[in-house]
């Protein structure tokens, strides 16, 4: 496992988002958002599409910088890190992208081996052992010769999960891991994410709008809407909540305080102008 950062305290949260604001031009994505990601737990970030859930992952990973506030990862202010320090931090983080993002010209084996070849100096025999072990866990060791175009959507997502954990990261970020999956594939992914988190003592952050599946494995949940945290709690607490916004999202109701329309001028005003 990668050594601790000099400022890292194992008793502190792994990630702290403190008073963060962020905008794309005139559009406010976050307005004074604060949340914490505890070590060794599965934390879910929920919200309707377009609420900035993926943007939050990019802020944690240092691809974006907040206009206000601070993002702390492994005890370090992400925006204060040098390029070298930032790359070192990212080696401790696995990422499962929404699309899977497999490299189309590489077969399954080489997709999983890619981070090992890029970031570790290992003999080929050890790389082979690690890759086969990761693929065995996701049930695809015997599919190692296939290319991404030959995989189903569920298989591709499982290969992406094996790749995300190839370097034995401290934390894994999941960007809509259940999107576009059939019920069987979704059930497999739910089980694998939970098992990976327990077996590898990971910290997991799941960005999703799939309430039922995420609530099955999450230890704590945050609900984002209109640039702020509108609710947070355990899955049981969120399901029992009578707050209108929480009820609307958890039960999938079309009408409620969480808006359906993208913000902008009134419809009649827009027609008449």
pLDDT tens track for 184-230:
888 888 888 898 888 888 899 999 888 888 888 999 999 988 888 98
| pLDDT attached to residue 98 | 74
When mean pLDDT is compared over 51-55, 127-131, 249-253, the highest value belongs to 127-131
Closest Cα partner for 71 from 36, 23, 95, 27?
A: 36
How is the chain classified by DSSP, letter by letter? Answer: -PPPPTT--TTS-SEEEEEEEEEETTEEEEEEEEEEE-TTSEEEEE-STTSSHHHHHHHHHTSS--SEEEEEETTEEGGG--HHHHHHHHTTEEEE-TT----TTS-HHHHHHHHHHHH----HHHHHHHHHHHHHHTT-GGGTT--GGGS-HHHHHHHHHHHHTTT--SEEEEESTTTT--HHHHHHHHHHHHHHHHHTT-EEEEEES-HHHHHHH-SEEEEEETTEEEEEE-HHHHHH---HHHHHHHHT-SSSSS-SSPS-S-HHHHHH-
Closest Cα partner for 33 from 72, 69, 7?
A: 69
Higher pLDDT, 7 or 164: 164
Distance, CA of 186 to CA of 204 (rounded, Å): 17
Tokens of 129: 């052992």
Percent with pLDDT over 90 in the chain: 44
Per-residue CA distances from 165 to 3, 50, 98, 273 (Å): 17, 27, 16, 54
Distance, CA of 205 to CA of 174 (rounded, Å): 6
Is the pLDDT score of 82 beyond 90? yes
Q: Which domains are assigned to the chain?
A: 12-92+169-185+198-273 (3.40.50.300), 102-168 (no CATH)
Residues 6+ apart with CB under 8 A from 122: 116, 130
Average the pLDDT over 123-133 and give the result. 93
Question: Is-contact 30 67, C-beta < 8 A?
Answer: no
| pLDDT attached to residue 1 | 44
Digit-coded pLDDT (tens) for 220-244 = 999 988 888 988 999 898 888 777 7
Question: Is-contact 191 17, C-beta < 8 A?
Answer: no
Q: Residue 139, by phi and psi: left (phi above 0), alpha (psi -120 to 50) or beta?
A: left
């Amino acid at each position: 496992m990668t050594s601790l950062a000099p400022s890292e305290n194992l008793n502190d949260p792994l990630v702290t988002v403190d008073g963060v604001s962020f905008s794309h031009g005139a559009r406010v994505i976050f307005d004074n958002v604060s949340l914490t990601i505890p070590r060794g737990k599965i934390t879910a970030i929920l919200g309707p599409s377009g609420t900035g859930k993926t943007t939050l992952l990019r802020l944690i990973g240092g691809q974006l910088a907040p206009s206000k506030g601070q993002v702390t990862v492994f005890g370090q202010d992400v925006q204060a890190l040098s390029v070298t320090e930032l790359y070192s931090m990212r080696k401790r983080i696995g990422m499962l992208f929404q699309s899977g993002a497999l490299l189309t010209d590489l077969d399954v084996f080489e997709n999983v081996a890619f981070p090992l070849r890029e970031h570790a100096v290992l003999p080929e025999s050890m790389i082979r052992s690690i890759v086969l072990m990761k693929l065995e866990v996701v049930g695809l060791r015997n599919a190692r010769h296939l290319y991404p175009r030959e995989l189903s959507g569920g298989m591709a997502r499982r290969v992406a999960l094996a790749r995300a954990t190839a370097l034995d990261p401290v934390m894994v970020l999941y960007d809509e891991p259940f999107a576009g999956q059939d019920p069987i594939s979704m059930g497999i992914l739910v089980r694998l994410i939970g098992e990976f988190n327990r077996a590898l003592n990971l910290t997991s952050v799941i960005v999703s709008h799939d309430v039922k599946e995420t609530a099955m494995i999450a230890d704590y949940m945050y609900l984002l809407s209109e640039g702020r945290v509108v609710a947070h709690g355990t899955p049981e607490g969120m399901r029992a909540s009578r707050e209108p916004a929480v009820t609307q999202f958890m039960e999938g109701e079309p009408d409620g305080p969480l808006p359906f329309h993208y913000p902008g001028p009134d419809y009649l005003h827009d027609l008449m102008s």
